[in-house]
Amino acid sequence: MATFAEPMRPNIASADVQLPAVKDYEQVDREISATLKPTKGWGAALALSIAMFLMGAAAWTYQIYWGLGNAGYNPPVMWGVYIITFVFWVGIGHAGTLISAILFLFRAGFRTTIYRCAEAMTVFAVMTAGLFPIIHIGRPWKFFWLVPYPNWRLLWPNFKSPLVWDVFAISTYLTVSATFLYVGLIPDIAVLRDRETNPLRKRLLAVMSLGWRNSEPEWRHFTRMYLFLAAFSTPLVLSVHSVVSFDFAMALTPGWHATIFPPYFVAGAIFSGIGMVFTIIIPIRKFFRLEHYVTINHLDAAAKLCLFTSMVVGCAYLIEFWVAWYSGNMYEQDYFWNRVFGQWWWAAWIMLTCNMIFPLSLFSQKLRRNPTWLFILSIFINLGMWYERFVIIVPSLSHEFEPWQWSSYLPSWVDVSILVGSFGWFFMWFLLFIKQLPVVAIAEVKEIVAPKMKRAHGHGGHH
Amino acid sequence: MRQGLVAVFPQLDALCDAIEALKKAKYEQFTVYTPAPRHEIEHALKPPMSPVRRFTLIGGLLGVTFGYWIAVWTSEYWPLVVGGKAIASWIPYTIIGFEVMVLVGALSTVAAMFINSRIPKLTMTVGADPRFTHGDYGIFVLAAPERLKEAEAMLRHHGAVEVRGEQ
């Protein structure tokens, strides 16, 4: 494999992220479409994912047959692994739209080569998250009662309930994210269509590309559409996890009833999403030989964003403790003491170590530019962010106002299998995606590659 | 009866020169093809502003209206009476209004791109070439038959590596 010299460290806060080893449009088409060829390693990873998914599906079937009592619920802890994992996957789903929409509006150049991966991750993560409320309700065949549609039950959903807000927020987010992913893919599918030699695949790609021809009017409407979709998606990202946080903050339970929850959840979601982006993009750049597209500079810039969001999340953790102390409310104070030094100390310290302490290593430029460390750190972040949701949900429910109610919680094999199955489901879709459609945006990479010119200094002074 | 010419350009500045020459010579019907959107082409063409934004605005307004309406109307029609509480409360319904605004606004924006770009296209496009999704730029000019020779000479003069007739 060819090695490529890293460019001089650019100003990565601006759009000045160059791809010095990418010379022309032909190279972009050739190298990115080469990633679509299935390999043995990919097949093995897909088989493992499908096996994990089937394990989760079997556990869910068992639960549906024998009842929700097979999950580890222990009154009053009636929210457990399913709601924790729901919030975890919704959070993962946030980085995609953050990277594709917010960084697009900020003109952050390091977004270009990682956003497709992050967008696909978003769609599959929200698809995974959406399963968990359905699993959690125990009678999954009645989930559609949350959706307002004309019916003869003489009752509509209560629009004052955060659970109904969730339905609207998550379904809007899934629809808009999937649309954003698909429309961004249209020009790239057209590239694949015109390179394809297999007539059946060519036909399929022709349908999927909707007859896109790369004409100037198409691009003109496309770029405006992309801008407005990004402008819509940005507040949507912030709203969705705020709404998820309302599931907790609207209740009077100690540890939940806090106005800090919406920004705290949004920052946590973005942090966990960036963690998952690292978990995915670092192996992809290595195994797909895309190190000269997703350069060390891109990883360095994304690591800075990771560090920033980690510090926001850390700040939120500390403010929670301060508010509990300052409120003078004994239930809040007792709850927070129990969280860190009592019954749940081990979970809280996993959270604090993985989310606050380990990411401080990213102050070191050497570590920010070390993909191996970023990958290891990303695993800790995923673990820490799952435990963050555990720490929010379980200690609150197990330690409410009345001491006689205090309880504990241990997930059962059914919960754990469904949790593992959710990773299988997510990675199964992701692995199928990366061998069908380009994981790096061809058209957007072409925008930053210098076009061929007949004169040395461009056209008419326009740049 | 107009006839068409397809010109292929490997270089961006050659394409922009050809666009400016065509505009100067009063060729009004031509379509430019480019592998990626470039500001240089926009400066040469000076195209009108895309109307996509109007669809976005109208879609967003319709969405927010529908979101509030569905929540308020259904609350009034199937009331959940809780003592001392308003049956329809606009503050929590803002969440429904906002989410539906984003949903309808975003889908209208995409629909606007489809309508204005004339996609999905089910048939072959006259003047398009697979090279235009790859690495080359292109122009498809429609002109009266007596002006085709002049147009071809102009396109070749500015750097077209291939010019062929197509209709």
Closest by CA to A414, choosing from A67, A9, A24, A40, is: A67
Scanning A164-223 for CB atoms below 8 A from B yields 164-165, 168-169, 172, 175-176, 179-180, 183, 186-187, 190-191, 193-195, 210-223
pLDDT of residue A9: 52
Q: Tell whether the model's pLDDT for residue A169 goes beyond 70.
A: yes
Angle between helices A162-195 and A25-34 in degrees, nearest 10:
110
Query: Where do you find CATH 3.30.70.120 in chain B?
Result: 3-49+136-166
Distance CA A392, CA A94 (A): 19
Mean pLDDT of A121-129: 96
For A68-118, the pLDDT digits (tens) are: 999 999 989 999 999 999 999 999 998 788 888 988 998 888 888 999 999
For A128-138, the pLDDT digits (tens) are: 999 999 999 98
Distance CA A315, CA A268 (A): 11
Q: Which residues of A touch B78 (CB under 8 A)?
A: 154-156
CATH number assigned to the domain covering B3-49+136-166? 3.30.70.120
Nearest CA in chain A to B67: A168
As given in the structure block, the two tokens for residue B22 are 């065509």
Least confident of A8-22, B7-21, B124-138: A8-22
Least confident of A300-309, A370-379, A415-424: A300-309
Q: Tell whether the model's pLDDT for residue A289 goes beyond 70.
A: yes
Q: Which residues of B touch A462 (CB under 8 A)?
A: 16, 39-40, 43
Contact flag A459-B50 (C-beta cutoff 8 Å):
no
Closest by CA to B127, choosing from A216, A99, A189, A312, is: A216
CB atoms < 10 A from the CB of A293, how many?
A: 25
Quickly tell me which residue has 């339970």 as its tokens: A253
Q: Strand B3-9: give its sheet, edge to edge.
A: B29-33, B137-143, B3-9, B162-166
pLDDT of residue A1: 42
As given in the structure block, the two tokens for residue A354 are 């993985």
Local structure of A256: helix, strand or coil: coil
Q: Tell whether the model's pLDDT for residue A30 goes beyond 70.
A: yes
For strand B137-143 and strand B3-9, is the pairing parallel, antiparallel, or unpaired?
A: antiparallel
Contacts for A4 with CB less than 8 Å, ≥ 6 apart: A20, A21, A291, A292
Tell me the fold of A25-37+73-410+435-448: Formate dehydrogenase/DMSO reductase fold (1.20.1630)
As given in the structure block, the two tokens for residue A377 are 């750190």
CA A358 to chain centroid: 20
Nearest CA in chain A to B86: A160
Distance CA B14, CA A30 (A): 24
Q: Tell whether the model's pLDDT for residue A47 goes beyond 70.
A: yes
pLDDT of residue A461: 40
Contacts for A58 with CB less than 8 Å, ≥ 6 apart: A417
Distance CA B99, CA B28 (A): 44
As given in the structure block, the two tokens for residue B136 are 């080359």
Whether chain A has a CB inside 8 Å of the CB on B94: the answer is: no
For strand B29-33 and strand B137-143, is the pairing parallel, antiparallel, or unpaired?
A: antiparallel
ipTM associated with this complex = 0.94
Domain ranges of chain A: 25-37+73-410+435-448
Q: Find the farthest-apart pair of alpha carbons in chain B and give their distance in angstroms, rounded.
A: 84
Distance CA B99, CA A169 (A): 6
Q: How many residues does chain A have?
A: 463
As given in the structure block, the two tokens for residue A327 are 């409120």
Closest approach of B51 to chain A, Cα-based (Å): 8
Distance CA B57, CA A46 (A): 43
Mean pLDDT of A279-295: 94
How far apart, in Å, are the Cα atoms of A88 and each of A94, A235, A273, A277, A379?
10, 20, 9, 14, 14
For B23-44, the pLDDT digits (tens) are: 999 998 999 999 999 999 999 9
For A426-451, the pLDDT digits (tens) are: 999 999 999 999 999 999 999 988 88
The mean pLDDT value of chain B amounts to: 92
3-state secondary structure B126-160: CCCCHHHHCCCEEEEEEECHHHHHHHHHHHHHCCC
Q: What is the residue-wise DSSP string for A351-402?
A: HHIIIIIGGGGGGSHHHHT-HHHHHHHHHHHHHHHHHHHHHHHHHHHHS-S-
Nearest CA in chain B to A152: B78
CA A124 to chain centroid: 8
Higher confidence at residue A4 or residue A209?
A209
Closest approach of B64 to chain A, Cα-based (Å): 13
DSSP label of A140: G
What is the band of A457 on the pLDDT scale with cuts at 50, 70, 90?
low
Q: What is the residue-wise DSSP string for A105-135?
A: HTT-GGGTTTHHHHHHHHHHHHHHHHHHHHH
Q: Residue B117 is nearest to which of A172, A222, A452, comparing CB atoms?
A: A222
pLDDT of residue B1: 64
Q: Which residues of B touch A158 (CB under 8 A)?
A: 80
How far apart, in Å, are the Cα atoms of A12 and each of A303, A308, A335, A458?
11, 15, 43, 24
Q: Tell whether the model's pLDDT for residue A179 goes beyond 70.
A: yes
